[in-house]
Amino acid sequence: MNLTDKQRFGAYFALIVIERKDGKVEKKDKELVASLSTIDRIWKDVKDQIKEGREVDVSSKKKGNVVRKKKDLGLPRVAIIPLNKSKTIRGLARTLGVSHSTLHLRFQLGELKRHSSRLKPAMTPENKLKRLEFCVNMPDKDWLTTPWPFFQKMDNIIHIDKKWFYMTRVNNNYYLLPEESTPLRIVHNKNNIRKVMFLMAVAKPRYNEGVLTFDGKIGTCSFVKEKATLKNSKNRDKGTLELKSVKFTHDVMREFLCEKVIPAIQERWPDEDVGRTIYIQQDNAKPHLLPNDEVSTGCHRN
């Protein structure tokens, strides 16, 4: 039982009064004052101090807050543990040979930290130079000599990119009436659902005094073509037109760029930019076209 210094002095004073009154302090007297073991220690300490002629001091000898010392888990070993064994608290605790609940408590105390790691692209010196060259060319040349230079508005750049989409999903949720029958969806193999690639083209939206004048949406086209079936089957007759995915190659990209993307740009681009050079920004996919592509140069200029 831990008593404050004030409580300890009160217990000492009560025992002194009892001793002077009855001539002796009995066990029942100690139990009336406080816990027997605590009072025994205090009373024994008082008797020793009086016997040695010292001033009686019954204050606690414990300095500060006394708590149970934390067990040494050897956390510095975490730095040399392979990363594949420190993905979870349980995995790290198993490697350290400690309880996962104990390790989680240390994490809550700030002795461990959680870090989310994301993959980064491997960049060669040539890639870094190209990115730096792109950034250097972005400032607006008309504002370079002013105290506050600006970057180009980039409103004449169209970004195009591709994305695969599955034709359907394994699990779908629908809201139906109680009397409706459940829809039946069938595929030949759930692990091989057909996919379609779409090409999207977008640009920077335009505003005039807060009013949207151009939403920047150029268009979306799918890499599919209608092909006639070559023979009869139980599912369809010979010659039936079916949509088939098109393999993404240089020639296909050139065809879609010249026949779909550029006509969509000419149709939807704002009239105030007539005669202005428009750039099409592609990602790093290999089948994309280079700026000096000889075959597609003609359709670019038309």
Domain annotation covers residue 288: yes
pLDDT (mean) for 217-235: 87
Domain annotation covers residue 67: no
Res. 113: pLDDT tops 70: yes
Which comes out higher in pLDDT, residue 159 or 40? 159
Q: State whether 127 and 265 are in the same domain.
A: no
pLDDT, position 202: 93
Q: State whether 38 and 85 are in the same domain.
A: no
Range of the domain at 144: 122-152
- Specify the number of domains making up the chain: 4
Q: State whether 103 and 136 are in the same domain.
A: no
Q: State whether 135 and 94 are in the same domain.
A: no
Res. 258: pLDDT tops 60: yes
Res. 302: pLDDT tops 50: no
Q: State whether 80 and 164 are in the same domain.
A: no
pLDDT (mean) for 286-290: 73
Domain annotation covers residue 159: yes
pLDDT (mean) for 79-108: 92
Q: Tell me whether strands 224-228 and 157-166 are parallel, antiparallel or unpaired.
A: unpaired
Domain annotation covers residue 174: no
Domain annotation covers residue 184: no
Lowest mean pLDDT among 13-27, 121-135, 153-167: 13-27
Q: State whether 292 and 159 are in the same domain.
A: yes
Q: State whether 160 and 205 are in the same domain.
A: yes
Q: State whether 148 and 158 are in the same domain.
A: no
Which comes out higher in pLDDT, residue 171 or 12? 171
pLDDT (mean) for 55-65: 67
Lowest mean pLDDT among 92-96, 139-143, 173-177, 205-209: 139-143
- Give the 3-state secondary structure of 77-113: HHHHCCHHHCCCHHHHHHHHCCCHHHHHHHHHCCCCC
Q: State whether 10 and 39 are in the same domain.
A: yes
Res. 250: pLDDT tops 80: yes
Domain annotation covers residue 126: yes
Q: State whether 90 and 158 are in the same domain.
A: no
pLDDT (mean) for 273-298: 75
pLDDT, position 17: 65
Q: State whether 11 and 38 are in the same domain.
A: yes
**pTM flag (> 0.75):** no
pLDDT (mean) for 148-156: 85
Q: State whether 164 and 278 are in the same domain.
A: yes
Domain annotation covers residue 62: no
Domain annotation covers residue 201: yes
pLDDT band at 88; cut points 50, 70, 90: very high
